[in-house]
Amino acid sequence: MCLDAETIKEKMKGIVEEKINNPHLKDTLQTFINEKNHFAFGALAFKHYVAFDGKHYSDITLLASGIELLILAFDILDDIEDEDNLDKEWMKIDQSISLNAATSLYSISLQVICELKTNSDFPRLAMKYALNAMQGQHNDLENFPETEDECLQMIKQKSGSLTAMSAVLGTMLANGEFNEEIENYSYKIGIVKQIENDYYGLFNKNRSDIRKGRKTLILLYLKRRFNAASEKILDLMNAEASYHSFLIDNKKSFEDLLFDAGVSQYVSMLIKMYEEEITTSIKDLNIMLEL
């Protein structure tokens, strides 16, 4: 049994077709759905459903699609708030229309997810994870973190809550039970993905992190100013035009600079640590699960 990207995308479109009557809003949402090419959260829910012997393909397809509608809503809101990814369809039109579309997707997604309830905890947990993600996003927008520990906690809320939603609800849909161990390690999956995203974002001139001085884990690490390479990277970041020029003309030199500053090793060490903890937790549960 497998759940491919095209199946999820078509189900997302079907949900919108069923739930939305306004023809222009419906067309707008379908256009936004067409922008999606990655369905990692839906896949995570599916893998946990299968690992715990879920049998109903239609149910997990609906859950995975509902979760991906929620992720799309958050992606749109995130891009508008951060002024990122200007090539996306929702960034090319009137922002008020995109905002309304995002809130429509948010409402539809939670309706679909909560209607699948296996017990009273199912909708409660869905709402908890969605709200926690929004609170983490608020701290990110406020540029709240002052330390790496505070930043990791923010990432756990913002990104980890969505991976926790996927894994926990996928499991509950299969067996009706909440599993705290799954919640704990799925938060870590979200942290790993965000750390990777922030690292590769250093090479993306379209990301607003540098322009807005976002306190990512990497920036907070650099601000500890361990060596001359850290100082040079911070100087480049403070002069945004110089940073992007340097990045375009000297990508390999920039990679070397990140290594000399200890950033590459720091990121790799964190990812390895979390991945080992995730692997140990999965082994302890004695389930067949490939992430």
Amino acid 280: pLDDT: 95
**Best CA proximity match to 114, nearest among 73, 56, 69, 159:** 69
Q: Are 88 and 79 in contact (CB under 8 A)?
A: yes
165-169, 270-274, 276-280, 283-287, range with the lowest pLDDT: 283-287
- Per-residue pLDDT at 159 exceeds 90: yes
Average pLDDT over residues 268-281: 97
Tens digit of each residue's pLDDT (9 = 90 or more) over 173-220: 999 999 999 999 999 999 999 999 999 989 887 777 888 888 999 999
Q: DSSP string of 9-61?
A: HHHHHHHHHHH---HHHHHHHHHHHHT----HHHHHHHHHHHHTT---HHHHH
**Best CA proximity match to 156, nearest among 110, 209, 195:** 195
Amino acid 6: pLDDT: 92
Q: Fill in the DSSP letter of residue 86.
A: T
- pTM of this prediction exceeds 0.75: yes
Q: What is the mean pLDDT of the chain?
A: 93
Tens digit of each residue's pLDDT (9 = 90 or more) over 72-97: 999 999 999 988 888 999 999 999 99
- Per-residue pLDDT at 1 exceeds 80: no
- Per-residue pLDDT at 2 exceeds 80: no
Provide the CB-side half-sphere exposure for 59 (13 A, CA).
19
- Per-residue pLDDT at 267 exceeds 70: yes
Average pLDDT over residues 229-251: 85
- 250-274 per-residue burial string, b: 16 or more CB within 10 A, e: under 16: eeeebeebbeebbbeebbeebbeeb
Amino acid 211: pLDDT: 80
Tens digit of each residue's pLDDT (9 = 90 or more) over 122-155: 999 999 999 999 999 999 999 999 999 999 999 9
Tens digit of each residue's pLDDT (9 = 90 or more) over 34-47: 999 999 999 999 99
Tens digit of each residue's pLDDT (9 = 90 or more) over 187-199: 999 999 999 999 9
Q: In percent, how much of the chain has pLDDT > 70?
A: 99
